[in-house]
A and B are shown apart, each in its own frame.
Chain A
Amino acid sequence: MKSFKNQFLITMPSFLWLVIFYALPVFIVFLLAFKPVDPYGGIGGGWSLATLRNLSDPSYPVIIWRTVWLGVVSTAVSIIIAIPIAYHLAKMSSRLRNIVLMLIIVPFWTNFLIRIFAWKVFLNPEGFFRRSLVYIGLIPEETMLLYNQWAVLAVMIYTYLPYAILPIYAAAEKFDFALLDAAKDLGAGSFTAFRKVFLPSISKSIGVAVMVVLIPALGAYLIPDLVGGPTSEMIGDKIAQSVFTERNLPHASALSAILMITVFLPLLLLMFFRKICNNNGAESEKVPRIGVKK
Chain B
Amino acid sequence: MSDHILQFKNISKRFGSQTVLDEVSLSVGTGEIFSLLGPSGCGKTTLLRICGGFDYPDAGRVILDGKDITELPPNKREIRTVFQNYALFPHMTVWDNVAFGLKIAGVDKHTMMREVGKYIEMVQLSGHEGKKPGQLSGGQRQRVAIARALVNKPKILLLDEPLAALDLKLRQRMLIELDTIHDEVGITFLFVTHDQQEAMSISDHIAVMHNGNVEQIGTPVELYEAPKNSFIAAFIGDTNFFDGLVEQEDGDYCTLMIKDFPALSVYNDKKLRRGDKVNLSIRPEKFMISATKPEITDAHTNLLQGKVEEVIYLGAHTRYWVRVQDWRISVVKQHFSYALDERKICWGDEVWLKFEGDNAYMLERYTEEDENLLALPDV
A235-294, CB < 8 A from B: 281, 283-285, 287, 289-292, 294
A294 to B85, CA, bound (A): 25
Please, which residue of chain B has its CB at the minimum distance from the CB of A203? Answer: B91
In the complex, the answer to whether B132 meets A281 with C-beta atoms within 8 Å is: yes
Is A13 positioned at the interface, with any CB of B under 8 Å from its CB? no
Number of interface residues of B (CB under 8 A): 34
Please, which residue of chain A has its CB at the minimum distance from the CB of B130? Answer: A284
> What B residues does A200 contact at CB under 8 A?
89, 91-92
Tell me the smallest distance from the CB of B5 to a CB of chain A, in Å: 18
In the complex, the answer to whether B83 meets A178 with C-beta atoms within 8 Å is: yes
A183-203, CB < 8 A from B: 183-189, 192, 196-197, 200-201, 203
In the complex, the answer to whether B131 meets A284 with C-beta atoms within 8 Å is: yes
Q: Which of B62-70, B73-81, B264-272, B334-342 contacts A (4 or more CB under 8 A)?
A: B73-81
Q: Interface readout for B352-368 with A: 1 if CB under 8 Å, 0 if not?
A: 00000000000000000
In the complex, the answer to whether A182 meets B83 with C-beta atoms within 8 Å is: yes
In the complex, the answer to whether B87 meets A188 with C-beta atoms within 8 Å is: no
Is A113 positioned at the interface, with any CB of B under 8 Å from its CB? no
> What A residues does B81 contact at CB under 8 A?
181-182, 185
In the complex, the answer to whether A181 meets B83 with C-beta atoms within 8 Å is: yes
Number of interface residues of A (CB under 8 A): 28
Tell me the smallest distance from the CB of A20 to a CB of chain B, in Å: 40
Please, which residue of chain B has its CB at the minimum distance from the CB of A192? Answer: B104
A197 to B152, CA, bound (A): 19
Partner of A179, one of B87, B132, B136: B87
In the complex, the answer to whether B85 meets A187 with C-beta atoms within 8 Å is: no
Is A176 positioned at the interface, with any CB of B under 8 Å from its CB? yes
B64-117, CB < 8 A from A: 73-75, 79-81, 83, 85, 87-92, 100-101, 104-105
Given contacts A176-B87, A179-B87, A200-B91, contact A185 B128 (CB under 8 A): no
In the complex, the answer to whether B89 meets A284 with C-beta atoms within 8 Å is: no
Is B54 positioned at the interface, with any CB of A under 8 Å from its CB? yes
Is B201 positioned at the interface, with any CB of A under 8 Å from its CB? no
Please, which residue of chain A has its CB at the minimum distance from the CB of B100? Answer: A186
Please, which residue of chain A has its CB at the minimum distance from the CB of B85? Answer: A178
In the complex, the answer to whether B148 meets A294 with C-beta atoms within 8 Å is: no
In the complex, the answer to whether A188 meets B91 with C-beta atoms within 8 Å is: no
Tell me the smallest distance from the CB of A192 to a CB of chain B, in Å: 7
Given contacts A178-B85, A182-B81, A182-B83, contact A187 B127 (CB under 8 A): no
Is B126 positioned at the interface, with any CB of A under 8 Å from its CB? yes
Is B2 positioned at the interface, with any CB of A under 8 Å from its CB? no
Tell me the smallest distance from the CB of B47 to a CB of chain A, in Å: 16
Is B227 positioned at the interface, with any CB of A under 8 Å from its CB? no
Please, which residue of chain B has its CB at the minimum distance from the CB of A290? Answer: B137
In the complex, the answer to whether A291 meets B137 with C-beta atoms within 8 Å is: yes
In the complex, the answer to whether B89 meets A181 with C-beta atoms within 8 Å is: no
In the complex, the answer to whether A287 meets B135 with C-beta atoms within 8 Å is: yes
> What A residues does B89 contact at CB under 8 A?
179, 182-183, 197, 200-201
In the complex, the answer to whether A289 meets B135 with C-beta atoms within 8 Å is: yes
Please, which residue of chain A has its CB at the minimum distance from the CB of B106? Answer: A187
> What B residues does A201 contact at CB under 8 A?
89-91
Given contacts A178-B87, A181-B83, A182-B81, contact A187 B137 (CB under 8 A): no
Max chain A Cβ within 10 angstroms of own Cβ: one of B53, B74, B85, B91: B74
In the complex, the answer to whether B135 meets A182 with C-beta atoms within 8 Å is: no
In the complex, the answer to whether B132 meets A284 with C-beta atoms within 8 Å is: yes
A107 to B87, CA, bound (A): 38
A201 to B79, CA, bound (A): 25
Tell me the smallest distance from the CB of A188 to a CB of chain B, in Å: 5
A61 to B209, CA, bound (A): 74
Please, which residue of chain B has its CB at the minimum distance from the CB of A197? Answer: B89
Given contacts A291-B137, A294-B126, contact A185 B75 (CB under 8 A): yes
In the complex, the answer to whether B148 meets A186 with C-beta atoms within 8 Å is: yes
Residue numbers of A with Cβ under 8 A of B are 176, 178-179, 181-189, 192, 196-197, 200-201, 203, 281, 283-285, 287, 289-292, 294
Sample (12) of A-B pairs whose CB atoms are under 8 Å apart: A176-B85, A181-B83, A181-B87, A182-B83, A182-B89, A185-B54, A186-B149, A189-B75, A200-B89, A284-B130, A292-B128, A294-B126
